[in-house]
Chain A
Amino acid sequence: MSETAVTTPVSVSKGRSLWSDAVKRLLAGRAAVISAIVILIYVLVTLFIYAAEFGSSRFGWGIPLTNYNEKVGSEYEPPSWKHPFGTDYKGRSVLRKTFYGARTSITVAFLASLISIAIGVPVGAMAGYFRGFVDEIVVWLYTTLSSIPYILLILAFALVLKDRSISLPWPGAPTFRLAGIASVYLAMGLTSWVGLCRLIRGETIKHRDREYILAARSYGCGRARIIFKHLLPNVFHLVIINFSLQFVGFIQAEVILSFLGLGEKDKPSWGAMIDDARLTLTRGFWWEMAAATLAIFVISLALNVFGDRLRDALDPKLRTE
């Protein structure tokens, strides 16, 4: 028997961070990739429409696809090769309206998410880190908000904010007039930060007593630095998961709010399209509702599937090796 240590080639696996691992696992599934592509398409359509609008107001471009107001045919034409989704009561292309509806929905959901994250994350982190009085206030605040049934809360906010002019409290400050759609995403953002806040607060509490935070404090890290540089990156995956799950909720909520008349009045939105269809369905004009339903269904499905896969990929408890 040899005395020297046996040198067998031992393979060393490269260190895999949570993110690279997650991305790899996520992209391995077909469902995740397809839904990601679908989501990307919707986002691109939105950006395209913004670019086109900007272009037409600045440079006078006339891109037909984004010109939803143009009368392209007679009223209530059923779907055909010329008009794939038919026309509405004003003879406008339903296809164009559907595309425009995507812009409305994606924009609203995105802005609402932004507001929700901008409020929820810092508040949750502060409450979890500082504890004490700050924590008590924050917990009281979000318990109160979550005691009000969600739909009612959004309705209340949207109703009050609609067409309102906000003037900031100090003299000489400008007055903002809230456009129709602003009341919707403001209402959603200002009410939905609660879930995320709770999550972040919980995680922060769990992490703040861990050794790595203690270590950071021991070499003199200030509180802000600790929160932003050390704590938040460790809870960030929760923000992503929450974002993807809430996004669908926002899209569906916007549809309902627009349907009830609280959203954008003059620009097309899927909810408004369904509202129009409600009255005309009995006369046999089904295509506008079908188009809106299809558009909502596809993006909701894609977001749900992607969100599920994302959660599976990012949830450390499910990591096996």
Chain B
Amino acid sequence: MTAATNDIILSVRGLATHFRTHGGTVRAVQGVSFDIRRGRTFALVGESGCGKSVTALSIMRLIPTPPGTIAAGRIELHGRDLLKVNDAQMRSVRGNEIAMIFQEPMTSLNPVFTIGDQIVEAIMLHQKKSRRHAWVEAEKLLARVGIPDPGQRVREYPHQMSGGMRQRVMIAMAISCKPSLLIADEPTTALDVTTQAQILDLLDDLQQVEGMSILLITHDLGVVAERADDVAVMYASKIAETGATEALLAQPLHPYTQGLLRSLPRMGVAADRLAVIPGSVPDPREFPSGCKFHPRCPIGCDDPRCSSLEPELRQVSEGRQVSCWYSPGFETPEESQDFDRRYGRDKRKSPSA
């Protein structure tokens, strides 16, 4: 994919975020790299605790720095490394070039200020508008996100609204300064199914009209399939594989993704038990050695290399990256010979289908 037609607005390279706890250092995010293109929705999917929210917060540099630090990496927004700018510059990025909405609409708004106040605050922070102008703008934004009777609502308090409406308010606040990127951290998890669909439709609509990119954090593969253009699968602080959604779901390259997809019930397929990935997600303070997935991997669980050497994220074909020794096209010939020499040819597994 050439950079000219699908230009990259956000490029993450080798991001690592650590937290210091009394149980030891928790490496919540390690070596995460991906690109988000203009006008496209990029989904970051994984189980709870895999590090996807931390990744999103790291991009915004909203990680609380007494226990946390962004240990390494580059985050380039329109070519500028956000990890190197000072506080004031970062503040002018937040809410302005990159905006974020969160999972809990019920508690994400300040209960003692009207929603008009809160939207106006965002507008006046980044744009040179008068207060009156900003209030007018706020009303327009509420209408834009589909809130009925915006003139009345803008003067109301958050507790007077339902969860779905509050999330719309959050979105209104987020798009008020026309950001290039909207980060949505599980925006619909706390909402009921009907409202979920409405919110996701709204996001789609905004993307079409404003040309805004969306980084969608979710654990729901169904949402990914429906709404995301590109996707990265995360497991235990690392990225397992990336690619365009259709291609990745049709042909998953990493055993973890394969396991996830296999565990989804399918229409028209007879089964008496749902397949599961055995074992459970590892404790971030005690990650396994080598590939973090290997204890649960049907291929790598007894492979000597998988348990000792961690595969890095590599591009194996156009637009597809994966981190698994046994993915087709991953291993270089030198590495293959090295394996034979060390462990013997017979120990080698066959790649996953």
A–B in direct contact per CB < 8 Å? yes
B308 to chain A, nearest CB (A): 16
B280 proximal to A (CB < 8 A) = yes
B301 near A6: Cβ-Cβ < 8 Å: yes
Inter-chain CA distance A1–B258, complex, in Å, is: 12
Identity of the chain B residue whose Cβ is nearest the Cβ of A321 in the assembled complex: B283
> CA separation between A59 and B352, bound complex, in Å?
88
Contacts of B298 in A (CB 8 A): 1-2, 6
Q: Map CB proximity to A onto B271-310 as digits: 1 under 8 Å, 0 otherwise.
A: 0000000111000000000000001101101000000000
Docked-complex contact A1 and B299, CB < 8 angstroms: yes
Residues of A within 8 A of B352 (CB): 1
Cβ of A279 under 8 Å from chain B: no
Q: How far is the CA of A2 from the CA of B298 in the complex (A)?
A: 7
Which chain A residue has the least Cβ–Cβ distance from B277?
Answer: A6
A28 neighbours in B (Cβ, 8 Å): 22
Residues from chain B with Cβ under 8 Å of A10 in the complex: 278-280
Contact A8 B299 (CB under 8 A): no
What 1/0 mask marks residues of chain A from 1 to 18 whose CB sits below 8 Å from any chain B CB? 110011110100000000
Min C-beta distance of A20 to chain B, whole Å: 18
B238 to chain A, nearest CB (A): 19
Q: CA of A8 to CA of B279 in the docked complex: distance in angstroms? A: 7
What chain B residues lie within 8 Å of A1 (beta carbons)? 298-299, 352-353
Q: Which residues of A contact B299 (CB under 8 A)?
A: 1
Interface size class of chain A, counting residues whose CB lies under 8 Å from the partner chain: under 10
Q: Who on chain B is nearest to A6 by CB?
A: B278
Q: How far is the CA of A249 from the CA of B278 in the complex (A)?
A: 54
B278 contacts across to A, CB distance below 8 A: 5-8, 10
B10-29: contact bitstring with A at CB < 8 Å (1 yes, 0 no)? 00000000000010000000
Interface set, chain B 105-159, CB cutoff 8 A to A: none
Q: Give the chain A neighbours of B280 by CB distance below 8 A.
A: 10
List residues of B (320-353) whose CB comes within 8 Å of A's CBs: 352-353
Q: How far is the CB of A31 from chain B (nearest CB, A)?
A: 13
For the complex formed, measure the closest distance between the CB of A27 and the CB atoms of chain B, giving whole angstroms: 13
Specify the chain B residue showing the minimal Cβ separation from A4. B298
A142 CB → nearest B CB, Å: 31
Residues of B within 8 A of A5 (CB): 278
B185: min CB distance to chain A, Å: 20
Q: Give A28's nearest chain B residue, CB to CB.
A: B22
Bound-state CA distance A6–B22 (Å) is: 34
Chain A residue, CB-CB nearest to B278: A6
Which residue of B has the minimal Cβ distance to A9?
B295
Residues of A within 8 A of B22 (CB): 28
* A263 to B178 CA separation, bound complex (whole angstroms): 72
Once bound together, how far apart are the Cα atoms of A2 and B299, in whole Å? 8
A28 vs B353: C-alpha distance when bound (angstroms): 50
CA of A10 to CA of B295, assembled, Å: 9
Interface core residue of A1, A2, A5, A28 (most chain B CB under 10 Å):
A1
> Which residues of B have CB within 8 Å of A7?
278
Shortest beta-carbon distance, A277 to chain B, in Å? 44
Bound CA span A90–B299, Å = 88
A8 vs B301: C-alpha distance in the bound complex, in angstroms? 8
Residue of A nearest to B280 (CB): A10
Which residue, A6, A7, A10, has most C-beta atoms of chain B within 10 A? A6
Give the residue name and chain of the A residue nearest to B286 (CB): A11
Which residue of B has the minimal Cβ distance to A10?
A: B279
Taken together as a complex, chains A and B put the C-alpha atoms of A28 and B279 apart, in Å, by: 30
Q: Which of B191-218 contact A (CB under 8 A)?
A: none
Collect the chain B residues with CB atoms within 8 Å of residue A2's CB: 298
Residues in A whose Cβ lies below 8 Å from that of B295: 8
Cα A6 to Cα B296 in complex, Å, equals 8
B295 CB to nearest A CB, Å? 5
Q: Which A residues lie at the B interface, using CB under 8 A?
A: 1-2, 5-8, 10, 28
Q: Lowest 4 A-B CB distances belong to which pairs?
A: A8-B295, A6-B278, A8-B279, A1-B298
- Given A1-B298, A1-B353, A28-B22, list of 11 further CB < 8 A pairs? A1-B299, A5-B278, A6-B278, A6-B279, A6-B296, A6-B298, A6-B301, A8-B279, A8-B295, A8-B301, A10-B278
**B residues within 8 Å of A by Cβ?**
22, 278-280, 295-296, 298-299, 301, 352-353
Ordered by A's residue number, 21 sampled pairs between the chains whose C-beta atoms are within 8 Å are A1-B298, A1-B299, A1-B352, A1-B353, A2-B298, A5-B278, A6-B278, A6-B279, A6-B296, A6-B298, A6-B301, A7-B278, A8-B278, A8-B279, A8-B295, A8-B296, A8-B301, A10-B278, A10-B279, A10-B280, A28-B22
